[in-house]
């Protein structure tokens, strides 16, 4: 009660504030999402994501070594494959010599300590831009799961430490766990995108991979709402996360980040595994755009958002700001 209690005593100067600070950030809190493309010594900046590039494997490896030196210990990797390799089965996804498999091998060879988490979902390989196989105008859940198992096993064979299913099919974590175990990979972990919402914040990512749902000659859903979650829902996120843990997920994820911090805390309180948060492409783009105009202070907003995601309950944050934030934290 005032005047016995004066909250401002704990805010008098930076020293006292640092003593009572409840949350801290370090580069090991971050995972860096990286886009990989064919070619050599090639990179192209994604127009809606200034500072983020699609890179050939050789340049990706160079960047991985740099961010490792900055203290970042995990990368999420996504590939942009040639249109000619896309079909409705997604079979390029488990080509042992595919772009993803080559990238995993190259990164693990050059930087063995970096935890490599390839994305497991069919959208970069789907002629329809969906995270699954289309049958009769819908995504065929169980057939998609079998494709995802083949994909994940091929990632494990290439040396992946974790696989990261981002597709939202029902039961895929269980099938991935069983498939990895049966193939002799009991120690390859699963980071499941458990509460992934059907969000407009993924726009720039879909530009990066050319993976947005598209018009087709057959009937296909125009968006991802039959598998990604309705952003009006909270309880359902807890259900999804608990089911994934039961099915063998080592970590669960909430995605997107900033607009979903209530979900992060809810899931954090419900599960006993690390919760990761994906601070997604649209969130990155908004900060870049506003700060380019001088409307927001880029570095301050970046650090505030990352700290708030951590405070909400994230053990790990997948963020396109990983490198910039790690550099700032070193200063």
- Binding-site positions for Mg(2+) read 240
Of the candidates 58, 75, 34, which has an alpha carbon nearest to the alpha carbon of residue 209?
A: 34
- Nearer to ligand PBG by Cβ, of 110 and 140: the residue is 140
Structure tokens at 16: 């006292």
310 neighbors 317 (Cβ within 8 angstroms): yes
Residue 154 CA to residue 101 CA, distance in Å, equals 7
Minimum CB–partner distance for residue 323 and ligand PBG (Å): 15
> Does 196 participate in catalysis according to the annotation?
yes
DSSP state of 12: S
Instruction: Find the distance separating the first CA and the last CA of the chain, reported in whole Å.
Output: 40
Q: What 3-state class would DSSP assign to 29?
A: helix
| Catalytic residue chosen out of the listed positions 105, 108, 196, 288 | 196
Minimum CB–partner distance for residue 234 and ligand PBG (Å): 20
Is residue 191 at the binding interface for ligand PBG, with CB under 6 A as the rule? no
Q: Which are the contacts of 191, defined by CB distance < 8 A and separation ≥ 6?
A: 117, 162, 163, 164, 249, 250, 251, 252, 253, 276
> Does 86 participate in catalysis according to the annotation?
no
Is residue 206 at the binding interface for ligand PBG, with CB under 6 A as the rule? yes
* Interface with ligand PBG (CB under 6 A), residue from 68, 94, 202, 321: 202
| Range 14-73, binding ligand PBG (CB under 6 A) | none
| Catalytic residue chosen out of the listed positions 105, 108, 224, 255 | 255
Q: What 3-state class would DSSP assign to 215?
A: coil
* Interface with ligand PBG (CB under 6 A), residue from 131, 161, 244, 266: 131
* Interface with ligand PBG (CB under 6 A), residue from 53, 197, 205, 260: 205
Is residue 169 at the binding interface for ligand PBG, with CB under 6 A as the rule? no
Main-chain dihedrals φ then ψ at residue 78, nearest 5 degrees: -130, 145
DSSP state of 149: H
Minimum CB–partner distance for residue 248 and ligand PBG (Å): 20
- Residue 89 burial by CB count (10 A; 0-12/13-18/19+): exposed, middle or buried? middle
Is residue 280 at the binding interface for ligand PBG, with CB under 6 A as the rule? yes
* Interface with ligand PBG (CB under 6 A), residue from 29, 92, 123, 161: 123
209 neighbors 129 (Cβ within 8 angstroms): no
- Range in contact with ligand PBG (rule: CB under 6 A) among 64-72, 179-187, 199-207, 291-299: 199-207
Is residue 281 at the binding interface for ligand PBG, with CB under 6 A as the rule? yes
* Interface with ligand PBG (CB under 6 A), residue from 29, 119, 244, 266: 119
Is residue 80 at the binding interface for ligand PBG, with CB under 6 A as the rule? no
Strands (E) across 124-216 are located at: 134-135, 138-139, 162-165, 189-196
- The H or E element that residue 283 is part of is helix 281-292
Is residue 125 at the binding interface for ligand PBG, with CB under 6 A as the rule? no
Minimum CB–partner distance for residue 19 and ligand PBG (Å): 36
**Residue ranges in contact with ligand PBG by CB under 6 A:** 119, 121, 123, 131, 166-167, 202, 205-206, 224, 280-281
By annotation, the residues acting in catalysis are 196, 255
């Amino acid at each position: 009660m005032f005047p016995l209690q004066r909250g401002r005593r704990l805010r008098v100067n930076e020293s006292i504030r640092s003593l009572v600070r409840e949350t801290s950030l370090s580069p090991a809190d971050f995972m860096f999402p990286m886009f990989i493309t064919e070619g050599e010594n090639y990179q192209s900046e994604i127009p809606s994501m200034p500072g983020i590039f699609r890179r050939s494997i050789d340049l990706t490896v160079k960047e991985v070594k740099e961010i490792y030196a900055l203290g970042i210990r995990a990368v999420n990797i996504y590939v942009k494959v040639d249109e000619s390799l896309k079909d409705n089965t997604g079979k390029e996804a488990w080509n042992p010599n595919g772009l993803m498999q080559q990238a995993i091998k190259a990164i693990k060879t050059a930087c063995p300590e970096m935890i490599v988490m390839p994305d497991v979902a069919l959208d970069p390989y789907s002629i329809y831009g969906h995270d699954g196989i289309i049958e009769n105008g819908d995504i065929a859940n169980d057939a998609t799961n079998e494709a995802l198992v083949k994909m994940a096993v091929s990632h494990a064979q290439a040396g992946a430490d974790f696989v990261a299913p981002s597709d939202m099919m029902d039961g895929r974590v269980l099938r991935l766990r069983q498939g990895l175990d049966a193939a002799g990979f009991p120690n390859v972990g699963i980071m499941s995108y458990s509460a992934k919402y059907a969000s407009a914040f993924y726009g720039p990512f879909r530009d990066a991979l050319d993976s947005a749902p598209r018009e087709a000659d057959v009937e296909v859903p125009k968006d991802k709402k039959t598998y990604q979650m309705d952003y009006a829902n909270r309880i359902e996120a807890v259900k999804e996360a608990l089911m994934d843990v039961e099915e063998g997920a080592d970590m669960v994820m909430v995605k997107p980040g900033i607009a979903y911090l209530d979900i992060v805390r809810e899931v954090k309180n419900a599960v006993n595994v690390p919760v990761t948060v994906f601070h997604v492409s649209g969130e990155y783009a908004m900060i870049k755009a506003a700060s380019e105009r001088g409307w927001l202070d880029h570095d301050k907003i970046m650090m505030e958002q990352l700290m708030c995601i951590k405070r909400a309950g994230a053990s790990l944050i997948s963020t396109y700001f990983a490198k910039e934030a790690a550099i700032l934290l070193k200063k």
